[in-house]
Amino acid sequence: MNIQEIQNEIIEEFAMFEDWEERYQYMIDLGKDLPLINAQYKTEDNIIKGCQSKVWVHAELEGDKIAFTADSDAIITKGIIAILIRVFSNQHPKDILEANTDFIDQIGLKEHLSPTRANGLVSMIKQLKLYAIAYQTQLN
């Protein structure tokens, strides 16, 4: 699936939730379930200091696609990371660069991507794009 298709799928999934509690419970469960990053990559180098919660991001090129792994010490942040990874990981660098995160607004999680939230997610998205630029240069 391409990025747009995955985003549409997520929007459809979230449309089933009745209220904020169900949405948040889903994200919390996502946050609990996934071992999102290999322990060896949970290093100081890979950390994004968000003030409120920490985020770790690691990227690897697999063929012509980028595989992202990430983690956070806060579970709601981690749940949102799980959604972002699902959208952006295993995609071509060019597609990652062209994609936006408007779908987050549509699934009612906009406040978590506010630059003033200080949870590291805005910086994380910037970091994903920087990796995409770097790997695209490498592929060219």
Query: What residues act catalytically?
Result: 51
| Nearer CB in complex with another protein: 49/100 | 49
CB 132 within 8 A of CB 92: no
Chosen residue from 119, 127, 128, 131 binding another protein by CB under 8 A? 119
Beta bridge partners of 65: 62
Cα–Cα dist 139/93, whole Å: 9
| Nearer CB in complex with another protein: 39/51 | 51
Chosen residue from 9, 17, 24, 61 binding another protein by CB under 8 A? 24
Give all strands of the β-sheet with 47-49 in edge-to-edge order. 47-49, 54-62, 65-72
* Binding residues vs another protein (CB under 8 A): 20-21, 24-25, 28, 51-54, 73-77, 118-119
